[in-house]
Amino acid sequence: MGARLALQNVSLHFGGVTVLQEVGFTAEPGSILGLVGPNGAGKTSLFNCISGHYRPSAGSITIDGTEVSGDRPATLARRGLARTFQHPALQLNETVLENVLLGAHSRLPGGPVSWSLRLPRTTRSEKELRAEAAALLERHGLAWASRMPAGELSHGLHKGIELCRALLTGPSLLLLDEPAAGLPHSEVEQLIETVRRVQSDDITVVVVEHNMGLISALTDRVVVLDHGRKLMEGTAAEAQADQRVIEAYLGKDLADDAA
């Protein structure tokens, strides 16, 4: 079986500024890959290239062997890619269930026209997706909140809602952008369990995260970026022991002092 996600020599330039330079790695089906690095390393820019928000200046991005570089987010959603963001964008006056259902747009038959006309096949699909959304909330411990307005819930629960919304698209590849940001330790532990359940469904997960405890607990491998380049690739333990990584995070002088 080939790689679920493969990047080769991906570069990104804005004017004369190089943001990413010849970044490459693969993520296998059902694996969890961590993407880490100091602030400004290019992690979010790389996520934006993978998810269609930026068009790479050069290089190749494939999902299950299909070239997707430059595809729009909606096209990538139909190819099985879903993404969460550091700051979830929810409809705070809508219920939790309705927010999750917003993830179903790419699966509705006939597109927006059929949906607006309430054609019979669209109505049937809506019922099926509503049941699937409820099942996702049940599986991830949020069924109790399904009828509550999202605005009444905590930041941590907003992240859980956004994750369920992403999963309702039926992804084979899930990008998580700093899922632990702002969460207390107890909720980070719950997040780890949630992502492991996602992995058990043979979904490939790529996670950008500063919480190295979460990265160590979850990932099979990590890719470390620094100044837009891939610094190293290996296990989380290998990354934390790598002198180049220590210097990237601390600066060479502080790293030498710590040594």
- Which one of 116, 146, 169 terminates a domain? 169
Q: For residue 49, is it within any domain?
A: yes
Distance between CA atoms of residues 57 and 90, nearest Å: 32
The answer to whether residue 136 sits within a structural domain is yes
Q: State pTM to two decimals.
A: 0.88
Q: pLDDT digit string (tens) for 44-72?
A: 999 999 999 999 999 999 999 999 998 99
Rounded Cα gap, residues 86 and 180, in angstroms: 8
Closest CA to 6 of 42, 52, 59: 59
50 part of a folded domain: yes
141-177 tens-digit pLDDT:
899 999 999 999 988 889 999 999 999 999 999 999 9
Q: Same domain, yes or no, for 48 and 72?
A: yes
**Residue 138 one-letter amino acid:** E
Confidence at residue 137, expressed as pLDDT on a 0 to 100 scale:
93
Beta carbons of 36 and 43 less than 8 angstroms apart: yes
For residues 99-105, give the mean pLDDT.
83
Domain-terminating residue out of 142, 169, 196: 169
Q: Which amino acid is at 111?
A: G
CATH of the domain at 46: 3.40.50.300
Structural domain boundaries, residue 161: 91-169
Residues 188, 162 share a domain = no
Check residues 184 and 110 and name the one with the higher pLDDT: 184
Q: Which of 7-16, 89-98, 221-230, 247-256 shows the lowest mean pLDDT across its residues?
A: 247-256
- 221: phi then psi, degrees, rounded to nearest 5: -145, 160
Dist CA 31 CA 11 (whole Å):
24
Looking at the structure, do residues 25 and 35 belong to the same domain, yes or no? yes
